[in-house]
Amino acid sequence: MATETIVWLLPLPPLLAFFLIVLFTNKSKALSHSIGVGAALLSFVGSMVVFFRALSVEHFGEGEHIFASSIPWLPTGDTFLRVGVQIDPLSAVVLFFVAWTILMIFLYSVGYHNFGQPKGDHDHPGLPPHGATVTDAHGHKHTVLSVEPMYSRFFAFLGLFAAGMYTLVISDNLLTLFVGWEIMGLCSYLLIGFWYAKPSARNAAIKAFMTTRVGDVFMLLGLAYLYSATGTLSYREIFYNQEVLHHLAETSSHVFGLSAAGLIALLLFIGTIGKSAQWPLHIWLPDAMEGPTPVSAMIHAATMVSAGVYMVIRIFPLLTADWHGHDLTTAMSVVAFIGTFTAIFAATIAVAQNDIKKVLAYSTISQLGFMISALGMGAYIAAAFHLVTHAFFKALLFLGSGSVIHGMEHGVLHTGNHHVDPQDMWNMGGLRKKMPITFWTFLIGGFALSGFPLVTAGFWSKDEILADAFAHGHWAILITLSTAALLTAFYTMRQITLTFLGEPRTKEAEHAHETPWTMTLPLAVLAVFALGYGWVGIPEHFPGLGGLLPNWFHHFVGATLLEHPEAVEFSPIPLGISLLVALGGLTLGWLVYKDVKAGQPDPLQKPLGVLYPFLQNKWYFDEFYAFFVIKPMTWISEEFSYKWMDRQLIDGILHTVAQTALWIGSSLRNYFDKPIINELLGDKLGAYWTFQPAGRALSKAQTGRVQSYLIGAVAVFLLVAAALYLFIF
Amino acid sequence: MDFINTHLLSTILFFPVFAALVILFFPKEQVALIRWTALLSSLVPFGLTVWLWTMFDPQAAGFQFEEIYPWYEAIHSSFHLGIDGLSLSMVLLTTLLTPLALLASFSVQDKVKAYMMLFLFLETGMLGVFLAMDLLIFFVFWEIGLVPMYFLINQWGSPKGEREVWSPFGSYITSARNYASLKFMVYTMAGSLGLLLAVQMLGVLFQTYDLATLVAQWSAFDGTLFGMDASRVKVIAFWAFTIAFALKVPVWPFHTWLPDAHTEAPTAGSMILAGVLLKLGAYGFLRLVLPFYPVEAQQYAGWMAFLATMAIVFGAFASFGQTDFKRLVAYSSVNHMGFVLLGIAAAAKAIGTPDATIALNGAVLQMFNHGLSAAGMFFLVGVIYERAHTRDLDKFGGLFPIIPVYGGILIFTSMASLGLPGLNGFVSEFLVVRGSFPLLPVFTAVSMLGLLFTGAYILKGIRKVLHGPLNEHWAHGEHKLTDINLREILVMAPLMALILILGIYPMWLLDVINKAMLLLFS
């Protein structure tokens, strides 16, 4: 099959799976998950074929050396808006990690939703399964995990999610990218609110949809602007076209002194702020934990948030259109600031979280900040590299945390104490012995996140960002990101220590249990990438290792741009910083938390003082928005727009007009018709002078004799006949 | 067959009346017979329209399938029908929605015969507006459509509702459906007055009511009229036309009849009101205002855009502020039709440019799309209202496990209304935004606030109806809700299919619209 055809087909299997499950197979759990996983597998195979064919093309990415195909989609006057698919080096590497992570998440979901387990005793659609009571051969009653009541639906939604992401990755233009982008927005809404009967999940779903939509409407404006300025939305025609870029950089937008390129890039970037949960639109991502854990992995690694960063990498030529390689442009500074601030801001919050998934959620926000910051300072390759490695290790960490929670739920069902929160890390401890596969893979993921030197992928990509900041002299960014990296290593080790090391702090943790193979196999596969993927991007002049392996990632992905980016010169200083923050943070985390006992407060609580609740409450951003945005908006909607403006002002005017008309009408009736016409003319004058005498005169004709009536009738008849004869004939 | 070939448009137009007259002779107890006759006969115009679609040549300039009969020769009006890409898509929408609305009306138990007859008359009234090529005929049909709708709201509307009528002179409570039907009728009639005068003036001035002739002569007209400059007269006549159509669209601040009428109308009535009747106003702008008054429209484009933006933003806000499910959906129409007017305003500003064409494409497609999604939404509100006898959102919530199929369909249709990419609403909204942005950047940017709140009210609807802990009140016993039934699914299925098809491959419809816009306005 032609590669282009395969590319077109990539989103189709999961999309069809969605429709098949929803329309036909939703009653059968086995059939539904087979269709779901099968579809993910098909797309995966297709993606791998495309990826490896791309590797075998020489000068892939340059000029016409890409896979591309398009069709006319919207007629716009005399021309058409064409949409199509395109695989260039950037989309190839993104496709690679997307296909792997999605497949793993599908497989993992089978185990996570307890396929093969009995139906729950009191399970309802809309709530997580509560467990089922079974009687074993000896007549003992056990409570075991029960299967998810909406199992089929989950795979349907996941399929649609995957279809959205594949659409986004294979797009050759920003419009279909936006289509995939929004479909994922819907899926995140559906899946975060999967357990819709929980008010917290329901609210989180709406929060996710609405917060990202704030970004999306700006992005839509950016699309409209870009489209009207260039007449196209195709990547190749805009981002790979010096003339168009130059023109956009030279045109003024008349807003804040930005060039058209700068303003468009920023409008599109606001979309990313929403989608990739950057400050100040980060608030939805931690709440997205309300969804089932595979969804978290999907959102945090494989799809949503990666899509946001991917888009900024895509529009990089636009963002840097008026940049000459030295001082950052206004647009770039904004991007760099948002990214850098988000990186440190989210890291501080992660330090004080107790929920195992919340820590990871804030770490995602922080790591995305690293990527955005890298893009803001022009480090194209570093950002793309960190995007890929992060997707692997973050998917691993989320699936790992899901495995931990699953193991803990096992313990909760065993003891029957439902007050124990299976997600609170303070209830865990010592799980390394109970769940060895989960432990080792989680450790790998955690070390990759912390940037543990040499062996983990996260080290190489994060180091590259710091090296870039150093090489171009962005000191503020370098210091902030290094601090964030230190905090990252610290809270990661805090998490690992609290969860897996030491002794179990609760009975439930003692009875935790390793999860089935459908869950541990994906962990193992992702762990391989969390370690190995870094080796494809080792800088050439790295002491010892440099040059042993070619810096494949740099050369391959660099070809996406018109001018291939240069690798930064090697310097031992950023490397030293990298090593110091990673190892220092990990050691510190271990030292502080290694001896924590059950019931003991967080050792950080005392030294941090009032800062601790401030961090734990996420800098009070939720409260801020509730008071300054949601409350006024609700008031404007309910009170101002509807009750006051429509019902009182506009309708009041209408009713006044109507009542005035009514008043005039009834006045005419009461003061003219009735007294003058009826009474004066009719009753008084008329009655007295006209009708009454006439009536009296006529009443004389009422003789009561039939003969005289007959004479009258004949006379009238003759008169009428004469009249007719005279006037008509 | 030959007769139908040469009289295709008049067959489409008058078949519903013919069917209504047949129904007149049925005994009124034969409810099933009446329903099925009405439904099946409403499929005839639909089938003929599809056939018409296949024979229609989008490339050809001017009107096709023209029919012309002498009608009122003394005042030079003739019964002139014709069709172009613009009216064809509206005719398709009308003939498609009418059978669905009739099928939706199978649950009507009261005075079925009169109901079905009125509905068929209504269809002819609406079709007449789209098919008329003579200004006087246009006006006649414009008014005819009002009468059946008035009675549908007044007689079959929600029986219990009450409405507070507030004014500085004091307030009183009245029957909601009487209030709504009267408001609808009086409001539209008030708008028609100016239109009638302006139409008369044109007819007297040029001794013809033929649309094409009038457009040519009127735009070339200068000199004095009634002792005034032609340009002044044109401005006055422009506003007479504009206000009549603006009331119907409806444009903010003339929109307050809409939530009342839509909320009180019977389900099928709301479907047609939102689906087709609102389009009459927008069609009036495209068919008459822009061709007759290009200069004035350009002059006042900023004002039109302002009103459109107000409709988009405050429509969305007001919708979000509702506790009545149907009123929430009703206000969403204000919001969505605002985009139609925004596209028209942008086009008015720079008629003939590529940006204007894109904006017009978006506006016309949005008319069609809103017809599908709004009809669907109103029907879905009706489905639950029929079962629960309440529309109060605070009484629902947690219904998803009880009525899962309904829930899925509601989410799908809501997403179309929200403008989710992949479904139809997105394509048209994108085109409108794309077309308006370079021409009216500030208004377009402000209208994004409305787009944001579209999300808010749609999600509010879903949350308040479906999500939340299982609702025990509706789950058991006498109040137990039953899921959507087959007949109701059959009403939704064509709408949903079209929503999806137009979202993924809008070319088949947009191509016809695009060519029509190019022929009309460049």
Angle between helices A330-351 and A356-376 (to 10 degrees): 160
A192 part of a folded domain: no
> CA B330, CA B250: separation in Å to the nearest integer?
11
Query: For residue A569, with 0-12 CB atoms within 10 Å meaning exposed, 13-18 middle and 19 or more buried, which class applies?
Result: exposed
pLDDT (0 to 100) of residue B520? 87
pLDDT (0 to 100) of residue B379? 94
B487 part of a folded domain: yes
Contact (CB<8Å) B321/A641: yes
The segments of chain A whose pLDDT lies below 50 read none
pLDDT (0 to 100) of residue A729? 56
Is A512 strand, coil or helix? coil
pLDDT (0 to 100) of residue A562? 83
Q: Are residues A80 and A218 in the same domain?
A: no
Closest CA to A343 of A248, A446, A169, A478: A478
Q: Which residues of A touch B259 (CB under 8 A)?
A: 646
Cα radius of gyration (chain A):
36
B391 part of a folded domain: yes
Q: How many CB pairs under 8 A join A and B?
A: 172
Q: 3-state DSSP: chain B helix, strand, coil percent, rounded to 5? A: 75, 5, 20
- Closest partner CB to A221 (pick from B448, B466, B506): B448
Say what the alpha-carbon torsion angle A705, A706, A708, A711 is, to the nearest 10 degrees: 180
Tell me if A578 sits within 8 A of A463, measured CB to CB: yes
End-to-end CA gap in chain B: 37
Q: What are the angstrom distances between the C-alpha of B454 and each of A177, A217, A483, B343, B460?
A: 21, 11, 41, 18, 10
Is B323 strand, coil or helix? coil
pLDDT (0 to 100) of residue A310? 94
Containing A55, the helix (H) or strand (E) segment is: helix A29-56
A256 part of a folded domain: yes
Q: Are residues A257 and A332 in the same domain?
A: no
Contact (CB<8Å) B469/A78: no
pLDDT (0 to 100) of residue A409? 86
End-to-end CA gap in chain A: 93
Show which of residues 592-651 on chain A sit within 8 Å of chain B, judged by CB atoms: 633-634, 636-643, 645-648, 650-651
pLDDT (0 to 100) of residue B115? 92
What does the block give as tokens for B129?
Answer: 């507006």
Closest CA to A580 of A492, A482, A470: A482
Q: Are residues A216 and A150 in the same domain?
A: no
Instruction: Kindly state the DSSP code that residue B170 receives in the 8-state scheme.
Output: E
Closest-approach residue (CA) in chain A for B451: A217
Q: Are residues A594 and A657 in the same domain?
A: no
Query: For residue A23, with 0-12 CB atoms within 10 Å meaning exposed, 13-18 middle and 19 or more buried, which class applies?
Result: exposed
> CA A652, CA B251: separation in Å to the nearest integer?
18
> Range of B465's domain?
300-522
Question: For testing the chain A interface, which of B262, B312, B364, B459 should be mutated: the one with the most A CBs within 10 Å?
Answer: B459
Q: What are the angstrom distances between the C-alpha of A428 and each of A364, A387, B429?
A: 22, 31, 51
A693 prior amide bond cis, ω within 30: no
Query: For residue A1, with 0-12 CB atoms within 10 Å meaning exposed, 13-18 middle and 19 or more buried, which class applies?
Result: exposed
B436 part of a folded domain: yes
Closest CA to A490 of A383, A580, A404: A580
Closest CA to B209 of B89, B6, B84, B68: B68
Q: Are residues A543 and A424 in the same domain?
A: yes
Between strands B228-229 and B77-83, the pairing is: unpaired
CB atoms inside a 10 Å sphere around CB B188 = 24
B25 part of a folded domain: no
A193 part of a folded domain: no
pLDDT in tens, chain B (522 residues): 678 778 889 999 999 999 999 999 999 888 899 999 999 999 999 999 999 999 998 888 888 898 988 888 888 889 999 999 999 999 999 999 999 999 999 988 888 999 999 999 999 999 999 999 999 999 999 998 888 999 999 889 888 888 888 877 778 888 888 888 988 888 888 888 889 998 888 888 888 888 888 888 887 777 777 777 888 888 888 999 999 999 988 888 888 899 999 988 999 999 999 999 999 999 999 999 998 888 889 999 999 999 999 999 999 999 998 989 999 999 999 999 999 999 999 999 988 888 999 999 999 999 999 999 999 999 999 999 988 888 888 888 888 888 989 999 999 999 999 989 989 999 999 999 999 999 999 999 999 999 999 999 999 999 999 988 888 888 887 888 888 889 999 999 999 999 999 999 999 999 999 999 998 887
The reported pTM is 0.90
A612 part of a folded domain: no
Q: Are residues A226 and A357 in the same domain?
A: no
Q: Are residues A257 and A356 in the same domain?
A: no
What does the block give as tokens for B1?
Answer: 């067959």
Q: What are the angstrom distances between the C-alpha of B146 and each of A426, A655, B100, B125, B143?
A: 69, 21, 20, 8, 5
Q: Are residues A628 and A593 in the same domain?
A: no
Closest-approach residue (CA) in chain A for B313: A641
Contact (CB<8Å) A196/B456: no
> CA A590, CA A498: separation in Å to the nearest integer?
9
Closest CA to B417 of B451, B358, B466, B374: B374
Q: Which residues of B touch A650 (CB under 8 A)?
A: 253, 256
A577 part of a folded domain: yes
pLDDT (0 to 100) of residue A170? 93
> CA B211, CA B80: separation in Å to the nearest integer?
9
Show which of residues 243-302 on chain B sit within 8 Å of chain A, judged by CB atoms: 253, 255-256, 259
Residue that is written with structure tokens 């001018």 in the block: A563
A727 part of a folded domain: no
Q: Which residues of B touch A205 (CB under 8 A)?
A: 467
Residue that is written with structure tokens 């390793």 in the block: A514
Final residue before a domain boundary, out of A287, A304, A322 = A322
Is A471 strand, coil or helix? helix
B510 part of a folded domain: yes
**B81-B87-B92 Cα angle (round to 5):** 110
What does the block give as tokens for B518?
Answer: 């190019």
Cα dihedral sign for B97, B98, B99, B101? Answer: positive
Provide the β-strand partners of residue A327. Answer: none
B250 prior amide bond cis, ω within 30: yes
B409 part of a folded domain: yes
Domain tally, chain A: 4
Contact (CB<8Å) A659/B358: no
Contact (CB<8Å) B358/A656: no
Contact (CB<8Å) B434/A224: yes
Angle between helices A475-500 and A572-593 (to 10 degrees): 30
Chain-centre distance for alpha carbon A3: 30
> CA B522, CA A562: separation in Å to the nearest integer?
39
Q: Are residues A411 and A476 in the same domain?
A: yes
> CA B434, CA B412: separation in Å to the nearest integer?
25
Contact (CB<8Å) B256/A646: yes
Q: Are residues A14 and A87 in the same domain?
A: yes
Domain tally, chain B: 1
In terms of DSSP H, where are the helices of A559-677?
A: 572-593, 605-608, 611-616, 621-625, 631-635, 651-667
**Tens digits of residue pLDDT in A477-486:** 999 999 999 9
Final residue before a domain boundary, out of A260, A290, A322 = A322
> How far A12 CA sits from the closest chain B CA (Å)?
13
ipTM score: 0.91
A302 part of a folded domain: yes
Closest CA to B94 of B376, B378, B417, B371: B371
B441 prior amide bond cis, ω within 30: no
Q: Are residues A315 and A361 in the same domain?
A: no
Q: Are residues A87 and A25 in the same domain?
A: yes
CB contact burial B242-273 (16+ within 10 A = b; e otherwise): bbbbbbbbbbbbbbbbbbbbbbbbbbbbbbbb
> Range of A633's domain?
623-704
> CA B129, CA B156: separation in Å to the nearest integer?
25
> How far B393 CA sits from the closest chain A CA (Å)?
14
B166 part of a folded domain: no
A316 part of a folded domain: yes
Show which of residues 441-500 on chain B sit within 8 Å of chain A, judged by CB atoms: 444-445, 448-449, 451-453, 455-456, 459, 463, 466-470
CB atoms inside a 10 Å sphere around CB B467 = 26
pLDDT (0 to 100) of residue B1? 65
Backbone angles phi, psi at A86, to 5 degrees: -160, 130
Find the largest Cα–Cα distance for chain A. 141
Final residue before a domain boundary, out of A283, A307, A322 = A322
